[in-house]
């Protein structure tokens, strides 16, 4: 987040991180990351719909997935045609619900740990589950499987960069947003997962053993095991709302990102068309891919969950690896072209070393896909599992190679695989300290949509 915040504050340009990849790494890699981002959000849409099916079956496990998916798709279509303002209002309301749910859960978890829940036969879990179980459930294969899956969970925070070009004052807004996002992850991701480990046994039969996701959310399961009435249903409602929020965001982000790519000449021009305030053809593609969620209706169709989870995780690791690499390359070019860090509006508190650590983490996440296909969870080998786990790694490589080949053999241009630091464009869209910054910030800017908040 620090790397993206520094780049976005310095270059608040449309296209954000894939524009940084194009400028500081190479044009083929920028093209690849642009489509990688679109692909990630396109597949997150049916993934979230599949998750909603699992959670609604908490109340009725015989209901057909089609009965659940069809009205949700219809509602999301209507919401999408409401434009950016309506989208922002929906996300604002759902955001309040999510924060409320996590706050209630943390309070409940503390009460369960302390033995302050009369209905809990365990009379306080304390740190029992941390002392009586293995440090890492299922050992090395379990750790690498979790690392692969975690890539999907952290998707979405990169949207900060997408709003950079719409901010009236990126100098103040983007550093603040970067810090808020960092602490949001620390509190609502790390702290919540920590408390889950205190109140839910990792060997609880209610958790998913392998494949297709859990039938019960661990938040709901925590309230159930404590014997607390009403809260299991309430938490499940909150989980469904959170999934709806992500589905709403995915169809919005994928259609807008696809429209922006095509407008920049990186895709078919017709997909850049906007009607009624909506990128109509890009939206139609996103909606069509969302229909793959109906695969859940077929016998064994829930396997789509595993495929979408694996693909989206790899896409997100590629995105963040590219952001960190762009930051490192930018710093090198900034130094090569005789600039000082004092000229930048804001610098990442973790510096270049933070980006190198980010690259190491993302590389480990991508490597985890290869490792889990060789050492699968519970030792269950399958050709389908190997393809599923590694397909997300291969697709961006194929896109990159295809773009380079198209440039060389069709356009008769030799593609630049890595731009030299001295040749990088550091001036277009630049904001730095001094009078130039004041001039830009005083200039009239196009009003940003409500969603940028």
* pLDDT (tens digit per residue) in 69-126: 889 988 888 887 777 677 778 888 888 888 899 999 999 999 999 999 999 888 888 8
Distance of CA 330 to the CA centre of its chain: 24
Q: What is the mean pLDDT of each run of 10 residues along the chain (453 residues)?
A: 85 76 93 91 87 87 86 86 76 86 92 92 86 79 85 75 62 74 80 91 75 70 91 92 88 83 83 79 85 72 76 91 95 93 86 95 92 83 85 93 92 88 87 50 42 36
Which residue in this structure is represented by tokens 């550091």? 426
pTM: 0.86
Structure tokens at 24: 């500081």
Instruction: Assess if residue 83 is contained within a domain.
Output: yes
The beta strands (E) that lie in 251-310 are given as none
- pLDDT value at position 109? 94
Positive or negative CA dihedral for 397, 399, 402, 406? negative
Structure tokens at 102: 């996590």
CA dihedral 51, 53, 54, 55 (to 10 degrees): 90
Please, which residues have CB within 8 angstroms of residue 179's CB and are 6 or more apart in sequence? none
**Buried (b) or exposed (e) across 306-329, using 16+ Cβ within 10 A?**
bbbbbbbbbbbbbbbbbbbbbbbb
Instruction: Assess if residue 445 is contained within a domain.
Output: no
- pLDDT value at position 450? 42
Instruction: Assess if residue 225 is contained within a domain.
Output: yes
Please, which residues have CB within 8 angstroms of residue 441's CB and are 6 or more apart in sequence? 168, 169, 171
Distance of CA 445 to the CA centre of its chain: 29
Instruction: Assess if residue 442 is contained within a domain.
Output: no
Kindly report, residue by residue over 1-39, the tens digit of the pLDDT. Answer: 888 888 888 887 766 778 899 999 999 999 999 999 889
Instruction: Assess if residue 333 is contained within a domain.
Output: yes
Residue 251: name the closest of 88, 133, 77 by CA.
77
Q: End-to-end alpha-carbon separation of the chain, Å? A: 17
Instruction: Assess if residue 436 is contained within a domain.
Output: no
Q: Which residues pair with 275 in a beta bridge?
A: 278
| CATH code (residue 198) | 1.20.1740.10
Q: Give the structural domain span for 199.
A: 2-420
Contact 31, 299 (CB under 8 A): no
Instruction: Assess if residue 453 is contained within a domain.
Output: no
Residue 397: name the closest of 47, 147, 41, 31 by CA.
31
Count: domains in the chain: 1
Which residue in this structure is represented by tokens 């409401």? 82
Would you call 403 exposed, middle or buried from its count of C-beta atoms within 10 A (0-12, 13-18, 19+)?
buried
The beta strands (E) that lie in 268-367 are given as none
CA dihedral 152, 386, 18, 182 (to 10 degrees): 30
């Amino acid at each position: 987040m620090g790397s993206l915040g520094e780049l976005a504050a310095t270059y608040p340009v449309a296209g954000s991180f894939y524009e940084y990849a194009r400028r500081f790494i190479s044009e083929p890699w920028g093209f690849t990351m642009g489509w990688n981002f679109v692909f990630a959000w396109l597949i997150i849409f049916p993934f979230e719909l599949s998750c909603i099916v699992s959670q609604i079956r908490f109340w009725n496990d015989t209901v057909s997935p089609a009965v659940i998916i069809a009205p949700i798709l219809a509602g999301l279509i209507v919401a999408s045609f409401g434009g950016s303002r309506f989208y922002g209002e929906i996300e604002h309301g759902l955001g309040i619900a999510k924060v409320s749910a996590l706050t209630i859960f943390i309070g409940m978890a503390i009460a369960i740990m302390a033995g302050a829940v009369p209905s809990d036969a365990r009379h306080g879990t304390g740190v029992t589950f941390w002392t009586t179980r293995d440090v890492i459930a299922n050992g090395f294969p379990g750790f690498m499987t979790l690392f692969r899956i975690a890539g999907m969970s952290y998707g979405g925070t990169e949207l900060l960069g997408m709003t950079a070009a719409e901010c009236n004052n990126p100098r103040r807004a983007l550093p603040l947003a970067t810090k808020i996002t960092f602490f949001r992850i620390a509190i609502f991701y790390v702290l919540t997962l920590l408390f889950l480990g205190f109140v839910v046994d990792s060997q609880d039969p209610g958790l998913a053993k392998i494949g297709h996701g859990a039938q019960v959310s661990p938040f709901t399961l925590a309230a159930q095991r404590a014997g607390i009435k009403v809260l299991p249903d309430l938490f499940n409602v909150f989980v469904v709302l959170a999934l709806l929020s992500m589905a709403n965001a995915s169809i919005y982000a994928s259609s807008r990102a696809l429209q922006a790519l095509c407008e920049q000449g990186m895709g078919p021009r017709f997909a850049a068309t906007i009607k009624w305030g909506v990128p109509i053809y890009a939206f139609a593609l996103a909606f069509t891919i969302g229909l793959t969620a109906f695969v859940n209706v077929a016998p064994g169709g829930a396997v789509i969950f595993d495929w979408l989870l694996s693909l989206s995780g790899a896409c997100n690791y590629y995105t963040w690896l590219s952001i960190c690499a762009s930051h490192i390359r930018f710093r090198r070019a900034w130094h090569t072209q005789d600039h000082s860090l004092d000229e930048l509006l804001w610098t990442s508190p973790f510096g270049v070393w933070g980006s190198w650590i980010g690259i190491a983490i993302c590389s480990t996440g991508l490597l985890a896909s290869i490792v889990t296909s060789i050492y699968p969870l519970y030792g269950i080998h399958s050709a389908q599992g190997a393809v599923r786990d590694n397909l997300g790694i291969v697709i961006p490589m194929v896109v990159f190679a295809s773009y380079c080949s198209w440039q060389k053999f069709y356009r008769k241009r030799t593609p630049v695989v890595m731009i030299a630091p001295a040749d990088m464009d550091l001036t277009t869209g630049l904001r730095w300290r001094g009078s130039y910054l004041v001039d830009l910030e005083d200039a009239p800017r196009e009003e940003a949509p409500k969603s940028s908040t």
